[in-house]
Structure 1
Amino acid sequence: MEESLFETKIGSKLHYYKRGSGPIMIVAPPAWGLSSLYLQEGLVPLEQSFTLIYLEFRANGKSTRPNASEMTCWHLADDIEYLRQELQLETIPVLLGHSGGGTIALWYAIRYPDKVDRLVLLNHRLDGFDDGESLKKSIIEKKKDPKMHAPLKAWTSSWHDLSDEKFASVIRLFLPVYFWNPDASVQSKELNGLQTVPLWNYQLLRGNDQKDQHQEQELGKVSAKTFMIFCQADPVCTPTQGIATQEGIAGSKLVIYEQCGHFPWIEKGEETFRDITEFCNL
């Protein structure tokens, strides 16, 4: 594994990891504080066929913290462009984003349509999309499982005044909510071992201070070949958002896994890696 820190043209610094061999696949994690380590743990099978570049967005890992006004998913797409330039790529062969990282990757494909060939979105959040009804239905369904009661209580608690360490502990408590089978949550050592998560990042990107731009009306600008995976038991990035995205991107492909939550490579690993690899090799 290689680890690098480079300076962008605006003087900020960005951090990334390089693993695997084959065509380059840039991996975009959420920028609200998890870093890319859980993806480095989970996406190892892809490293047999691709060189994965795991980007740490601004204010994550060793990357520079920006002004709060520049901590939006729209702005964060520029970090992918800085990385493309650093790697001296004419275009990005494959850009993969998970969850909020998918939101950023999608903004990149909207803003820089001629700079990405293939776009892979795993349970992405569609910026500015109202998915409240699907969220309510998901919570009602999860309440039927007694194992979900304590995680749901932690998930719906207030996080606004927590320390970074306490915020991490709350995430560990509500992690099962993100799975179809709550027992599957223990399979990620990285997520279960979180010790500190910057609340500053979360408040700007997902909390009350977030400033969403609306992606739905911009989707027609995407020219990259696009493939999406969504999961029926994901309470935050529901399939409704995938359906809306597919309707907006001409020729895009969407698959929805049953009995699977927010981390498809954990609960549907065989299908996830097969489908991504087949799409990238078309």
Structure 2
Amino acid sequence: MSASFRAAIAYSNSTRESAHSDTDPLSPGLHSFSTGYNKLTYTIFGTGPSLVVCQVPGWGIGPSYISNGLAPLHGSFKILYFTPRGTPPSSRPLDALEMSSKHMVEDLEILRQYLELGSMLLLGHSNGGSIVLGYAQQYPSHVEKLVLIDHELQGFDDSATYIEFAMKRKDDHIYGTALERLQSFKADTNEEMQERLNDILPFYFANPTESVPKMLETMEDMPSSWALNHQRAADRERPTYLVDDLNKVEAKTLIVVGRDDPFCSVKAAEKAHAGMTTSELVILEDCGHFAWIENRECLDVVSRFLSE
């Protein structure tokens, strides 16, 4: 554990202890706390008896897409959506190289200690899944259950699956345009990033004509191009090889993946499942990267798993 991380833990604990007694850090709504280095924020929806901590991806998409997407679960669970460093309203680190997924794993531990939780029910989608998986490897005793939805498995090269999807779709009038924009994706401003995301979204779905409008309805946050560009750079500087430490995960784990996900593929999910003896794998047909948009079974499976 680095000296800066130890200092952040100590600072967040002192902040927690000095909070007013009538302030409930687990009440519905937006919350923030300081680590001494960054301001971190989270939003709570739902009033169910079980707290689920959902890690928002680190590349700047914001929490609304997943909090709106998982809204059907809010009647049964209290879900905390943890917005990572660099994505507003959380603050940017002073050193942009501290935007790595590894640093975001450490932020999850700071959150756990701030909330005085012994262990957590963790959920993550895409890069959020990568962060919670990294946490479960580094802090296995602090994870009660782990849910990975179309999760990124850092250190596992499945570029062949993406190439296969690209070759099959390149001549399609919807997929082809999205693929062309995806291959030249670059955003220097938040507005450019929003426009580029809208352009490439069809490639993330099995049924884009029907699913993209549903997805756009969930995306209320302005994305952060700064977070996108600097998390990419930080992860290149400090790469994470989650594929090497899958056997360190002790928590019962649910892995859900869409058959038509070219980015966080079935092969990656199968690799993670094979490496974690406590995991179960659910593959959803006719689903892309945002499984709950295209198949309600995704949320039903997650709800049953968390309720067991």
Q: TM-score, normalised by structure 1?
A: 0.93
Structure 1 unaligned spans of 5+: none
What's the counterpart of residue 289 of structure 2? 262
Q: Structure 2: how far apart are the matches of 1:106 and 1:69?
A: 21
Contact 2:63 2:81 in 1 (8 A): yes
Structure 2 unaligned spans of 5+: 1-27
Q: Structure 2: how far apart are the matches of 1:210 and 1:165?
A: 25
- Alignment length (residue pairs): 277
Match status 1:55 vs 2:82: yes
Q: How does 1:16-95 map to 2 (within 5 A)?
A: 16-21=42-47, 22-66=49-93, 67-92=95-120, 94-95=121-122
Q: In the alignment, residue 210 of structure 1 is paired with which amino acid?
A: R
Match status 1:274 vs 2:300: yes
What's the counterpart of residue 170 of structure 1? 196
What's the counterpart of residue 230 of structure 2? 204
Which residue among 215, 218, 222 is the counterpart of 2:249?
222
Q: In the alignment, residue 266 of structure 1 is paired with which amino acid?
A: I
CA positional deviation for 1:165: 1.3
Cα deviation 1:157-181 (Å, max 9, x = unaligned): 141x632211221111111110001
Q: Structure 1: how far apart are the matches of 2:266 and 2:285?
A: 11
**Secondary structure at 1:3 match in 2:** strand
**Secondary structure at 1:48 match in 2:** coil
Match status 1:131 vs 2:158: yes
Contact 2:260 2:287 in 1 (8 A): yes
After superposing on structure 2, the runs of 4+ consecutive aligned residues of structure 1 that deviate more than 6 Å are: none
Q: In the alignment, residue 34 of structure 1 is paired with which amino acid?
A: I
CA positional deviation for 1:190: 4.7
CA positional deviation for 1:61: 2.0
Q: Calculate the aligned-residue CA RMSD, in Å.
A: 1.8
CA positional deviation for 1:207: 6.0
Q: TM-score, normalised by structure 2?
A: 0.85
Contact 1:167 1:197 in 2 (8 A): yes
**Secondary structure at 1:210 match in 2:** helix
Most deviating of 228-237 and 142-151 = 142-151
Q: In the alignment, residue 45 of structure 1 is paired with which amino acid?
A: P
Contact 2:97 2:234 in 1 (8 A): no
